[in-house]
């Protein structure tokens, strides 16, 4: 695993990790503080077929922190463009984003449509999409499982004055609701052992005063061959968002897994098969 830090043309600093062999796949995590370690753990099976380049978005890892107004997913998409330039790529062969990282990757495909060939959105959030009804239905369903009661309570805990370590503890407490089977949470060492998550990132990326773009209206700009992965037991990035994205991107493919939550590779072994089949 190569760890690289470089200066962008805008003067900021970005970090990325590189491993594997084959065509390049750039991987983007959400920017609110998880970083790329959980995806490095998750995507190991792809290293035999692809050169994986994991980007630490601004304010994550060793990447420099910008001013708060520049921590929107719209702005962070430019970090992918800086990375493309750093790698000397005319086009990105494949761009994969998970969760909020999918939001960032989708913005990149909207802003730089000629610079990405293939796009994979796994459990992505469609920025500006009103999904309150589907999210509420998902939570009502999860509340039927007694194992979800404590995580659901933790999910509503205020974190305004927490330390980064305290915030990580709250996240560990509520992450089981992101799964169909709450015990599947412990299959990820990286997620289940989170020690510190920068609260500043979360507050700026997801804060009530953040600038919100309406992604749905711009989906027609995407020209990349696109695979969208969604899961019916995902309470935050629901199939409703995935279906709206699939409708807006011409020729895109949508896969929805039953009995699976926000991290499909931990609950559905066919996840990697579907990704590789799509790319090949």
pLDDT tens for each residue of 118-177: 999 999 999 999 998 999 999 999 999 999 999 999 998 888 889 999 999 999 999 999
pLDDT tens for each residue of 211-259: 778 899 999 999 999 999 999 999 999 999 999 999 999 999 999 999 9
In-domain check, residue 204: no
Total domains in the chain come to 1
pLDDT given at position 1: 82
Spatial separation of the C-alpha atoms in residues 98 and 114, rounded to whole Å: 21
- Is residue 20 predicted with pLDDT exceeding 80? yes
- Is residue 39 predicted with pLDDT exceeding 80? yes
In-domain check, residue 100: yes
pLDDT given at position 157: 83
- Is residue 75 predicted with pLDDT exceeding 90? yes
Mean pLDDT (whole number) for 94-116? 98
In-domain check, residue 164: no
Is residue 205 a contact partner of residue 103, using CB atoms and an 8 Å limit?
no
Residue 30 structural domain: 2-142+211-279
Helix (H, G, I), strand (E, B) or coil at 98: strand
Spatial separation of the C-alpha atoms in residues 103 and 101, rounded to whole Å: 5
Is residue 252 a contact partner of residue 245, using CB atoms and an 8 Å limit?
yes
In-domain check, residue 191: no
Sheet holding 2-7, edge to edge: 2-7, 13-20, 51-56, 24-28, 92-98, 116-122, 225-231, 253-257
Backbone φ and ψ of 246, nearest 5°: -60, -40
Helix (H, G, I), strand (E, B) or coil at 157: coil
| 209 against 52, higher pLDDT | 52
Q: Are β-strands 24-28 and 13-20 bridged in parallel, bridged antiparallel, or unpaired? A: unpaired
Mean pLDDT (whole number) for 184-197? 96
Residue with tokens 């719209």: 74
Classify residue 209 by its DSSP letter.
T
- Is residue 206 predicted with pLDDT exceeding 90? no
What's the CATH number where 230 sits? 3.40.50.1820
pLDDT given at position 212: 74
Mean pLDDT (whole number) for 81-99? 98
In-domain check, residue 182: no
For the chain, the average pLDDT equals 95
pLDDT given at position 208: 63
């Amino acid at each position: 695993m190569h760890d690289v830090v470089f200066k962008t043309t805008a003067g900021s600093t970005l970090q990325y990790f590189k491993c594997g062999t084959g065509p390049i796949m750039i991987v983007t995590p959400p920017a609110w503080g998880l970083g790329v370690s959980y995806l490095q753990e998750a995507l190991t099976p792809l290293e035999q077929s692809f050169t994986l380049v994991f980007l630490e978005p601004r304010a994550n890892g060793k990447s420099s922190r910008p001013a708060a107004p520049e921590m929107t997913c719209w702005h962070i998409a430019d970090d992918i463009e800086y990375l493309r330039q750093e790698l000397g790529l005319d086009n990105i062969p494949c761009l994969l984003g998970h969760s909020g990282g999918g939001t960032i990757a989708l913005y990149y495909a909207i802003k730089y449509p000629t610079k990405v060939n293939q796009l994979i959105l796994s459990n992505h959030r469609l920025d500006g999409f009103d999904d309150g009804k589907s999210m509420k239905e998902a939570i009502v369903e999860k509340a039927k499982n007694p194992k979800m009661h404590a995580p659901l309570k933790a999910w509503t805990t205020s974190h305004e004055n927490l330390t980064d370590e305290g915030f990580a503890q709250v996240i560990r407490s509520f992450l089981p609701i992101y799964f169909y089977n709450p015990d599947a949470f412990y299959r990820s060492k990286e997620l289940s052992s989170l020690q510190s998550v920068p609260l500043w990132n979360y507050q700026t990326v997801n804060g009530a005063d953040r600038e919100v773009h309406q992604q749905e209206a711009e989906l027609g700009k995407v020209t990349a061959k696109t695979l969208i992965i969604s899961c019916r037991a995902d309470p935050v990035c629901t199939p409703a968002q995935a279906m709206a994205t699939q409708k807006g991107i011409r020729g895109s493919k949508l896969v929805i897994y039953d009995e699976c939550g926000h991290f499909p590779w931990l609950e559905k072994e066919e996840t990697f098969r579907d990704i590789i089949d799509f790319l090949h």
